[in-house]
Amino acid sequence: MAKDVSRVVTLSNGRPMPRLGFGTWRIADGEPVERAVRAALDLGYRHIDTAAAYGNERGVGQAVRDSRVPRDDVFVTTKVWNADQRSGPAAVRKAFDDSLARLDLGHIDLYLIHWPVKGRYKDTWRVLEEIHATGRARAIGVSNFLPHHLDDLLAGATVVPMVNQVEFHPRLVQRELLAACRRRGIVVEAWSPLMQGKVVQIPELREIAKRHGRTVAQVVLRWNLQHDVVTIPKSANPDRMAENAAIFDFELSAEEMVRIDALDRHERVGPDPDNFNF
């Protein structure tokens, strides 16, 4: 039987996180990101994903402050960049303070280690644990962590990451990673859930979409939700933003879920977390 989903998932710290978020990578700071985030909030999105590396935190914060949506109804994620991790704990503390100042929203809902920088991420995690204890980041987590990174991190951690944001779509299903996170109460969040637009070309998905009178993007995002994976599609186009948000009023059958899972080809649109050099 298909699984019903509510609009929020409860993190291990008891806080609610909206299952649908709005991705902002490659949306320029200032007017472009302000316009996009304003439109997303107007359409009912209550979760915005940014990062220091996207260079658009100021605009994201401005749009949230300008909106009529109360601050506590919006969940804002940002991330510490690799260069700051490489510079050490003091730089990570400063990176957090700088993100907090640029966003200017009082607190950050979720602060993530953007990539598992070898030899550094454990030190970075200790700083995130400190920041979490002050309440300035209400939840902390990681991004692009494979099971072995999680094992390594957890060996010395006091706080278990609440979220792992990873590349996840029908061509990269990451079953082991999902299981490893689930076992530890870590919520999985999908980046590039639409394969940066490429999912629309997959014929099997077109067929399932047609059967439901939906678009391929909606089917894929719904498949995320039914896997208990939080999803953060990006669009700069309000019609597609609305399309991507209309995923709470239909259900995929168990058979359709299995068919979509079977599209896995271990194919990435982004870098391999074991082999990146930026």
Kindly indicate which of the ranges 1-9, 87-95, 127-135, 191-199 contains the residues binding ligand NDP, using the contact rule CB under 6 A. Answer: 191-199
Residue 18 CB: number of other CB atoms within 10 A?
21
Residue 74 binds ligand NDP (CB under 6 A): no
Give dist(CA 57, CA 77) in Å, integer. 10
Site for ligand NDP contains 194 (CB under 6 A): yes
Collapsing DSSP to helix, strand or coil, 26 comes out as coil
**Cα–Cα dist 263/134, whole Å:** 43
Q: Where are the beta strands (DSSP E) in the chain?
A: 8-10, 16-18, 22-23, 47-49, 75-80, 108-113, 137-143, 163-167, 187-191, 229-231
Q: Please report how close the Cβ of residue 243 comes to ligand NDP at its closest, in angstroms.
A: 5
Instruction: Please choose, out of 8-16, 156-164, 202-210, 237-245, the segment that lies near ligand NDP by the rule CB under 6 A.
Output: 237-245
- Find, among 114, 115, 111, the residue nearest to 159 by Cα: 111
Binding of ligand NDP by 2 (CB under 6 A): no
Instruction: Please indicate whether residue 54 is annotated as part of the active site.
Output: yes
- Which residues 247-276 are close enough to bind ligand NDP by CB under 6 A? 270
Name the residue whose CB lies closest to ligand NDP: 23
Of 2, 8, 13, 25, the one binding ligand NDP (CB under 6 A) is: 25
Which one of 170-178, 186-194, 222-230, 246-254 is the stretch in contact with ligand NDP (CB under 6 A)? 186-194
For residue 107, the 8-state DSSP code is S
Q: Does 145 bind ligand NDP (CB under 6 A)?
A: no
Cα→Cα distances 118→85, 131, 148, 186, 277, Å = 10, 21, 12, 21, 10
Of 156 and 271, the one with the shorter C-beta distance to ligand NDP is 271
Cα-flanking dihedrals φ and ψ of residue 3, to 5°? -100, 130
Number of chain positions touching ligand NDP (CB under 6 A)? 28
The answer to whether 144 contacts ligand NDP (rule: CB under 6 A) is yes
> Residues interacting with ligand NDP, by CB under 6 A?
23-25, 49, 114, 143-144, 165, 191-197, 200, 215, 217, 232-237, 240, 243-244, 270
Supply the residues annotated as catalytic: 54
